[in-house]
Structure 1
Amino acid sequence: MARQNTVFKEAYNRYASALRADEALPSEPEIAAQLGISRSTARAILTRLSDEGIIRWNKRQKIVLRAPNEEDFFPSEETDSLHNIIERSFMLRILSDDAAPGMQINELELAREIGTGTTSVREFLIRFSRFGLIEKRPNSHWILKGFTREFALELADVREMFELHSAAEFGKLPAGNDAWRALAEIKAEHQAMLQDLDKRYKQFSALDERFHLLIHGAAKNRFIADFYDAIAIVFHYHYQWNKAFARQRNERAIHEHLDYIAALESRDPAAIEFSCRLHLRSARQTLLQSLPQIATETAGAGGL
């Protein structure tokens, strides 16, 4: 419900911002296709516009009475991009305990769960498929695939090249950049997690993703940003199949993150590179240590 509500608010803001007085609006299916959302979400948008007196809705006729003002929109902190909403829902699904190679992903089910249109979900999955981690099957189905040691090593190599560059760029950001405030918040969350690690260590994966995504963003490079999707899938999903020593792994990673953050705050290029390489080396080891279990589970599931 929370994800659907976010989709609704984001789509509502997008649609309302384009309305002009005296404009006649199209049908619900057309609005849904235009925004990449479900018909039910399109209907909810029209209902709110009508309730707020922005449109007059009389059966099939929908006329814009006035342009929306600032108070008519949902605040930015309550909305998110549709891509991020779909990505988050997809990640939550494959992070579930019963996710394994061979698991089916249905476009219609995923779209219904999110409250968006199947076209947006399909475009997202097609973009992911080029990494070889999911494979298209007939009738809107996809299969989650495992990966080989060679794939993992290649991905780790590219990740290190990209993150070393991004971390160096982060250290050059001006003092007033919003990224420093976001880094301070993430640092505080790491420290708070350490204080209650027994209860909170399973929440580390989401914090880990936020931290590395923030660093990658400093590069302002579209290829690095796009590649991060593959990084997120592998480093925040596959190695979680091996849950042995998860608390110890996460505790070590938190300390490495804090050292990494301190290096970024120092703006010392040598310290940044050292801390970045040290942490990524640990991440590579963690990833490779998970492969034997992945191979066993893949065999049990009937192969790749």
Structure 2
Amino acid sequence: MRGNSLFKRTYNRSLDLIGGMPLGAPMTSETQLAQTLGVSRTTVRAVLALMSETGLVTASEGRRRLARHPVAGDRFPEPQTESARASVERQFMQWVLHGDLRPGQLIHCAELARKFNTSTTAIREYLTHFNHFGLIERRPNSAWVFNGITAAFATEIYEIREIFELRSAHRFASLPDDAPAWQELAAIEREHHTLMAEIDTRYRDFSRLDERLHRLIHEASLNRFMRDFYDVISMIFHYHYQWNKVDEKERNSAAIHEHLAYIAALRSRDVRLIDLRCRAHLRTARATLLRSIDARPPGADADANDGLRAG
């Protein structure tokens, strides 16, 4: 079980949940924890067993209780917690971000599979997802071509993102108090405060935290098309923080404050306030994205299609 990425991912998420609990507090039941984390009770039992081994929880009066708070060393390294799809996504975007891919360039599944140490099937499934958006186009010879991201494309995708995210945020605010998403939101909020306190050395960690928050909000839509669309949003918006290095720390610090205001609005369940905070944050993201498209790296083609750094 401990070699399983699902187990490791669930364990790290469990650490986030217990991080805000007072010492001595009773743990929720296995059934409740399984529902909160969206996994089986077998996985939850394995998580609790490891927590007992490491002294995080102890059994007292027939109930498990929090014995100590998690520290950084308790967590599994992030690469070990990734699903196969997440691993392909991360490596593909790193490949794009490092400048190895240009608009018009052919992509060969077999080559990427060797590069990423995965199967050609996993690569094809990942690329197929973006085919109908025009970002990547399949060629008859089993190759794919990357079309790039223009400013016009970014503007179109932003308009759809705003519609979908506002709808999802409204749905999130209507969730019952005991919905697991609120616990996840609280964990993400704590991580924002931690990152803010360590912003001088960890400001580049913001992009993954940004992705977690917005994906959580989109998941609340319960709409398969909105949730599926978020993969495209992730590719374009999530990674744009990493393209333009100018004032990166300051931009990410400001975005953290916008996120915290957005989270507070969600918790207030005030639809007007949610709209205000959501639109303000998305406008900032759009402006940063468009600046990133204009800020082409040295040696890049001056063609307007060379907007892939906006991811």
Taking structure 2 as the reference length, the TM-score comes to 0.67
Identical pairs, percent:
46
Residue identity in the other structure for 2:252: N
Amino acid paired to 2:189:
K
Q: Which residue of 1 aligns with 2:137?
A: 135
SS of the counterpart of 2:246? Answer: coil
Aligned to 1:289: 291
RMSD over aligned Cα atoms: 3.3
Quote how far apart the aligned CAs of 1:268 are.
1.3
Q: Go from structure 1 to structure 2 and tell me whether the alpha carbon gap of 1:174 and 1:7 turns closer, same or farther (over 3 Å shift).
A: closer
**Offset, 1:129:** 2.1
* Letter matched to residue 110 of structure 1: L
Sort the Cα spacing of 1:226 and 1:294 in 2 relative to 1 into closer, same or farther, 3 A. farther
User: Is the 2:147–2:305 Cα contact (8 Å) retained in structure 1?
Assistant: no
| Distance in 1 (alpha carbons) for counterparts of 2:279 and 2:86 | 28
Cα deviations across residues 168-224 of structure 1 (Å, max 9, x unaligned)? Answer: 111011111111111111111111111111111111111111110000000010110
Deviation at 1:116, TM superposition (A): 3.7
Q: Structure 1 residue 297: deviation in Å?
A: 5.7
Q: Deviation of residue 115 (structure 1)? A: 4.6
The answer to whether the 8 Å contact 2:95/2:101 transfers is no
Q: Distance in 1 between matches of 2:86 and 2:294?
A: 32
Q: Which moved more, 1:211-220 or 1:261-270?
A: 261-270
* 1:169 lines up with 2:171 in the alignment: yes
Which one-letter code corresponds to 1:196 in the other structure? Answer: E
1:6–1:80 Cα contact (<8 Å) kept = no
Q: Paired residue for 1:123?
A: 125
Are residues 188 and 8 of structure 1, via their aligned partners in 2, closer, same or farther at CA, if it must alter by over 3 Å? closer
State how many pairs are aligned.
Answer: 240
TM-score, normalized by length of structure 1?
0.68
User: Could you say which residue in structure 2 is the equivalent of 1:244?
Assistant: 246
SS at match of 2:144: strand
Alpha-carbon separation, structure 2, partners of 1:114 and 1:292: 30
Is the contact between residue 170 and residue 274 of structure 2 (CA under 8 Å) also seen in structure 1?
A: yes
Going from structure 1 to structure 2, the CA distance change for 1:268 and 1:101 (only over 3 Å counts) comes to same
Q: 1:199 aligns with which of 198, 201, 206?
A: 201
**Farther-moved stretch of structure 1 (212-221 vs 78-87):** 78-87
- What's the CA shift for 1:299? 1.8
Determine the structure 2 residue equivalent to 1:147: 149
Change (3 A) 1:132 1:114: same
Conservation of the 8 A alpha-carbon contact between 1:201 and 1:250: yes
Give the match's secondary structure for 2:286. Answer: helix
CA change 1:145–1:236 in 2 (3 A) is: farther
Residue of structure 1 in register with 2:271 after alignment: 269
Q: Tell me if the contact between 1:217 and 1:225 (Cα under 8 Å) persists in the aligned partners.
A: yes
Q: 5+ residue gaps in structure 1? A: 11-69
2:301 aligned with 1:299: yes
Q: Cα offset for 1:252? A: 0.7
Q: Which residue of 1 is the match for residue 218 of structure 2?
A: 216
Going from structure 1 to structure 2, the CA distance change for 1:79 and 1:303 (only over 3 Å counts) comes to closer
Gaps of 5+ in 2: 9-41, 49-75, 307-311
State the distance in 1 between where 2:305 and 2:231 align: 25
**Secondary structure of 2:295's aligned partner:** helix
Q: Structure 1 stretch 97-106 or stretch 278-287: which is displaced more?
A: 97-106
